[in-house]
């Protein structure tokens, strides 16, 4: 007879199986939805629901009991956000959805999630968080650039506008029509040069002495 052998061993030792469930519970309480194999999901579901019951009970002792199975961040999210949503629900906090077989080894896949999981809302929250993270990262980069170069975002914008204006000026000059060439003026006739005066002119010369040397 099979006594004291409840639960699947999943081909792991006790320590390995406990570490596996701990990691999966952390992921479930953090993201409220995980994808795993069907046997693992079936073994994980009762553990998750017992922890939600501890979260509904509240108190320091319940938190310490939950810390034996999950991390401190997961316990904080469980007690502060997840458990209050199921305050009026007597049980059945999670559900399993089958996804078919895995292509590699043919294992059956499944999704384990909380029954009030809103995929559209979680997707919108994720996009908003990514946008805020990107804006924060850009602000840090601008601040670092300002500290290094001493220039702010406004100065950077002014420089970009000045560069764009300088790049547009040659194109504007090329579009302008060339000016018409002026007609050349007719050259005036040159006056004839005066000829040198012949001997006997008014130019005075020193007379030679008579009788030779």
For 105, residues 6+ apart whose C-beta sits below 8 A from its C-beta are none
Residues 49 and 104 in one domain: yes
Last residue of a domain, one of 117, 133, 151: 117
135, 153 in Cβ contact below 8 A? no
Q: How many domains does the chain have?
A: 2
Residues 112 and 132 in one domain: no
What is residue 143's predicted lDDT score, i.e. its pLDDT?
A: 78
Residues 25 and 73 in one domain: yes
Q: What is the DSSP code (8-state) at residue 208?
A: P
Q: Is the pLDDT of residue 169 over 80?
A: no
Give CA–CA dist 67/70, Å, rounded: 5
The model carries a pTM of 0.57
pLDDT bracket for residue 152 (50, 70, 90): low
- Domain contains 142: yes
Residues 155 and 112 in one domain: no
- Domain contains 99: yes
For 37, residues 6+ apart whose C-beta sits below 8 A from its C-beta are 102, 107, 108, 109, 110
Give CA–CA dist 206/172, Å, rounded: 77
- Domain contains 158: yes
Report residue 43 as tokens.
Answer: 């073994």
List the Cα angle 98/102/114 in 5-degree steps: 30
Residues 21 and 105 in one domain: yes
Report residue 175 as tokens.
Answer: 């579009």
Q: Is the pLDDT of residue 46 over 70?
A: yes
pLDDT bracket for residue 39 (50, 70, 90): very high
- Rounded to the nearest 10 degrees, the angle between the axes of helix 153-175 and helix 119-149 is 80
Q: Residues 178-194: pLDDT tens digits? A: 555 565 565 556 665 65
Domain housing 93:
14-117
Alpha helices in the chain (DSSP H): 14-31, 38-57, 60-66, 72-77, 83-85, 119-149, 153-175
* Sign of the torsion formed by the C-alpha atoms of 26, 31, 36 and 42: positive
Residues 84 and 142 in one domain: no
Give CA–CA dist 4/71, Å, rounded: 28
Q: Is the pLDDT of residue 26 over 80?
A: yes
CATH code (residue 41): 3.90.1030.10
Q: Residues 104-151: pLDDT tens digits? A: 899 999 999 999 887 666 667 777 888 888 888 778 778 777 778 765
């Amino acid at each position: 007879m099979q006594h004291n052998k409840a639960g699947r061993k999943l081909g792991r030792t006790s320590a390995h199986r406990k570490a596996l469930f701990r990691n999966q519970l952390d992921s479930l309480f953090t993201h409220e939805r995980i994808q795993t194999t069907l046997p693992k999901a079936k073994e994980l579901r009762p553990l998750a629901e017992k922890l939600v019951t501890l979260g509904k009970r509240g108190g320091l002792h319940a938190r310490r009991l939950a810390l034996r199975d999950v991390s401190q961040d997961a316990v904080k999210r469980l007690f502060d956000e997840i458990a209050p949503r199921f305050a009026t629900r007597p049980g059945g906090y999670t559900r399993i959805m089958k996804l078919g077989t895995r292509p590699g080894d043919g294992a059956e896949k499944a999704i384990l999630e909380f029954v009030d999981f809103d995929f559209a809302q979680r997707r919108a929250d994720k996009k908003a968080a990514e946008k805020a993270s990107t804006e924060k990262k850009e602000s840090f980069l601008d601040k670092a650039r300002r500290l290094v170069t001493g220039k702010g975002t406004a100065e950077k914008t002014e420089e970009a506008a000045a560069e764009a204006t300088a790049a547009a000026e040659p194109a504007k000059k090329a579009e302008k029509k060339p000016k018409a060439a002026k007609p050349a003026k007719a050259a005036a006739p040159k006056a004839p040069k005066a000829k040198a005066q012949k001997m006997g002119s008014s130019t005075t010369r020193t007379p030679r002495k008579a009788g030779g040397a």
